[in-house]
Structure 1
Amino acid sequence: MPRPMDDKLLPVRTDAVAPDGSHVRLLCETGGGSMAHFELGPGQVSRPVRHRTVEEIWYVLSGLGVMWRREPDGSERETDLRPGLALTIPTGTSFQFRNTGRTPLEAVGVTMPPWPGENEAIPAEGPWPPSV
């Protein structure tokens, strides 16, 4: 049976802290994916992680930063984060991000399939020492 329609305003309070250390506000979920708002404070650096089974699409809302990604084949990329940028994090890709600005770095991410639980993200090696 299909899920009913849903709508939700961005929560004022953080719902969780992600395995990477960013603050998460949960939004909507369907059988195919889930959406969340991620925030990393000024000057903060996330913990590097890799997802076991999900892939993500992120859209940057505000702030400035850098996203590092390493695919399973070893290819790496650093992408400057700024409002209006969308990027993908394929399954098995290690990633880490940092806020290089003076305001919070905020993004909306869609996780497909929906986030399965706390064992989904595993620690990875990244380019920067984490601060969260």
Structure 2
Amino acid sequence: MSEGTGQQPFGTADPRDAPVVTAPDGAEVRPLLVLDGCGSLAVFVLAPGRVTHTVSHATVQELWHVTAGSGELWRRQGEREETVRLAPGTAVSIPLGTAFQFRADEDSAGPLRITAVTMPPWPGTDHEARPEQGPWTASVD
């Protein structure tokens, strides 16, 4: 927060200028913005034909919006599970504790790109993403 005002600074980010890191599930991630105590914004990128590791989050939940490419998302919460198509314009939620895995279509013209809001902000800890069992074999490191 800005000193003495109780306000947070304005943020502006361009994914092309953002650092590139690897998410715990193996997807490429470009962290963009953070509002302390509220949430963080990032872009996830997965190359055609690639499959992430299956994980669940210990303390955060996410909202995703697909901006390019295509693929599938599998999620499981208790006894409930589903697989949904991912295409530009699709929005999905990853509630707290949900096991999830996603993959990019092999024949996609480009990578699967997802803009995601994480709430609260991504804590950056090694213990946030917990390994889970999913339906597909991961093909990322």
Q: Pick the TM interval, shorter chain.
A: over 0.9
Shift of 1:14: 4.7
Cα distance in 2 for residues equivalent to 1:13 and 1:53: 24
CA displacement at 1:74 relative to structure 2: 1.9
TM-score, structure 2 normalization: 0.89
Change (3 A) 1:41 1:20: same
Higher gyration radius (CA): 2
How far apart, in 1, do the equivalents of 2:17 and 2:79 lie?
Answer: 39
Counterparts in 2 of 1:6-45, with a 5 A limit? 6-12=11-17, 14-31=19-36, 32-45=38-51
Aligned to 2:92: 87
Counterpart contact for 2:18–2:31, Cα < 8 Å: no
Matched AA of 1:123: P
SS in 1 for 2:118: strand
Alpha-carbon distance in structure 2 between the residues aligned to 1:3 and 1:94:
33
Instruction: Give the aligned length.
Output: 131
**From 101, 104, 110, the counterpart of 2:111:** 104
How big is the shift at 1:12? 4.5
Structure 2 residue aligned with 1:74: 79
1:11 aligns to what SS in structure 2? Answer: helix
Tell me by how many angstroms 1:2 deviates: 2.5
Aligned match of 2:52: 46
* Contact kept in structure 2, 1:11 and 1:26, CA below 8 Å: no
Percentage of matched positions with identical amino acids: 45
Q: Which runs of 5+ in 2 are unaligned?
A: 1-5
Alignment CA distance shift 1:60-1:125 (3 Å): same
Check whether the contact 2:70–2:104 (CA below 8 A) recurs between aligned residues: yes
Give the CA deviation at 1:103: 1.6
User: In the alignment, residue 124 of structure 1 is paired with which amino acid?
Assistant: E
* 2:3 alignment partner in structure 1: none
